[in-house]
Amino acid sequence: MQSFDYIVIGGGSGGIASANRAALHGAKVLLIEGRYLGGTCVNVGCVPKKVMWQGSELFHQMMTETKAYGFDVTSQDFDFSTFVANRDNYIQRLRQLYQQGLDQNGVQVVFGLARLKNQQEVVVNGESYIGKHILLATGGAPVIPEIPGAEYGLTSNDFFDMRELPKKVAIIGSGYVAVELAGVLSHFQVETHLIYRHDHVLRSFDRETVSHLEELYRKEGLHLHPYQEVQSVKKQSQGYQLNLSDGSFLQVDLFIWAVGRKPMTDSLGLETTGVRVNEQGYIQVDEYQNTKVAGIYALGDLTCQPHLTPVAIKEGRQLSERLFNHQVDAKADLTYVPTVVFSHPPLGTVGLSEEEARQKYPDELITVYTSQFNPMRYALLSHKLPAFFKLVCVGKKEQVIGLHGVGEGMDELLQGFAVAMGLGATKADFDRTIAIHPTAAEEFVTMTRKKD
């Protein structure tokens, strides 16, 4: 039986990052992956999603904006299947790069579903391996609700297998995935219906910012159906009929479940180890990724931390710094985690929403600044998508504790502001900073409109 310093189960964002870092510090590392290297992010998450986002942005611009800029785009042919094939080739190359990186660092890779036999032994493909330290990094998978006909629906994984665009589609859910896939399809001029149970999408985000995005989505022709649940689905000779909670029906070519994800713990054999999970099945860890069992760690989508690739990567690398490079206090600092919903236009957030700020600091002064403007991209167009920006500050010194926005470029401009907020920047620090003109980012350092 082979022994390793470190066995990593799951070759996604967190697992690969941790395995490579451990190997760089001289550990003997085994990485076990059940399907394909890169996990969710590379294969059915961030990467194909961002390529789709980019493709649909281009499509939309070509169809609606290029003429005003003087282009004569006479052929509007678009071959979706070529686009998808190019996307998949790119992903294939990424997987190869991951494999090369692991090889170069001396990480041994085995493909197969791993199962813990006890606290130190892992079995894969009938072989047993002993690990001094074991990392669980098996991520999550999409959920399908239990209603009649639910099985006819696609998940986000299936979305990336689509080889042609439907004419009319429904997306059920209100989180990142629902909002992003709805935006992509709508920008590809697919009639898109977004169906969700409550009043708003993205309910953990700043309410006012989300309302702005919803307004833009409506303006772009996306059909929003708040306060609706899909109660059952009937297959028809062509497409599907969704039966909604208000008694109405919606006929679509296809529909996509985007109602959340569940942690991938089923195949792991956790019961043999004493590793604890919470009510939703997520593995309980402390801020150092320790589970309740010494020598077994977990990270990323398998735990309750924000389910974002850079979070999983940071957790994985910091864990390896701690275990294999004597950095005894290494842990991921999740105080200001910037995040972007790749909607059209993107919505970005760092820190607390206005609602969270008021709840967290009931006795402190909360000041809120907002700004709305038309990005220059629309200068020559009759059709405009105004951007919205917001700062949430606390105390007399007005420390900026929340920064939110919807608008072109929001995805790229957010990172630097997250650094400033991590350093405790105040509204005065923002105001002191010279703007870059003409950009969207300058709105954040020129805001004067205080909300009552």
Ligand X SMILES: Cc1cc2nc3c(=O)[nH]c(=O)nc-3n(C[C@H](O)[C@H](O)[C@H](O)COP(=O)(O)OP(=O)(O)OC[C@H]3O[C@@H](n4cnc5c(N)ncnc54)[C@H](O)[C@@H]3O)c2cc1C
Ligand Y SMILES: NC(=O)c1ccc[n+]([C@@H]2O[C@H](COP(=O)([O-])OP(=O)(O)OC[C@H]3O[C@@H](n4cnc5c(N)ncnc54)[C@H](O)[C@@H]3O)[C@@H](O)[C@H]2O)c1
Full 3-state SS string of 365-405? CEEEEEEEECCHHHCCCCCCCCEEEEEEEECCCCEEEEEEE
User: Is 122 marked as a binding-site residue?
Assistant: no
308, 352, 357, 385: which one binds ligand Y (CB under 6 A): 308
Is 437 designated active site? yes
Instruction: Of 133, 126, 160, give the one whose Cα is nearest residue 36.
Output: 160
Which one of 32-40, 209-217, 324-332, 368-376 is the stretch in contact with ligand X (CB under 6 A)?
32-40
When the beta carbons of 40 and 209 are compared against ligand X, the nearer one is 40
When the beta carbons of 45 and 239 are compared against ligand X, the nearer one is 45
Does 185 help bind ligand Y (rule: CB under 6 A)? no
CB of 429 to ligand Y, least distance (A): 27
When the beta carbons of 4 and 342 are compared against ligand Y, the nearer one is 342
Residues 280-309, one symbol each (x = binds ligand X by CB under 6 A, - = not), give --------------------xxx----xxx
What DSSP element (H or E) covers 422?
helix 410-422
363: buried, middle or exposed (CB in 10 Å: 19+, 13-18, 0-12)?
exposed
Residue closest to ligand Y (Cβ): 175
Query: Residues 369, 391: contact at Cβ < 8 Å?
Result: yes
User: Is 301 marked as a binding-site residue?
Assistant: yes
Task: Give the torsion sign (CA, 321, 324, 327, 333).
Answer: positive
Cis peptide upstream of residue 338 (ω within 30 degrees of 0): no
What DSSP element (H or E) covers 354?
helix 354-360
When the beta carbons of 33 and 214 are compared against ligand X, the nearer one is 33
User: Is 156 marked as a binding-site residue?
Assistant: no
Query: Residues 257, 170: contact at Cβ < 8 Å?
Result: no
- d(Cα 70, Cα 334) in Å, to the nearest integer? 47
Does 22 help bind ligand X (rule: CB under 6 A)? no
Which one of 99-107, 110-118, 173-181, 290-298 is the stretch in contact with ligand Y (CB under 6 A)?
173-181
Annotated binding site for FAD: 50, 301
Q: Which residues bind ligand X (CB under 6 A)?
A: 9-15, 32-35, 39-41, 45-46, 49, 113-114, 137-139, 156, 177, 264, 267-268, 300-302, 307-310, 312, 342
Annotated binding site for NAD(+): 173-180, 260
Which active-site residues does the annotation give? Answer: 437
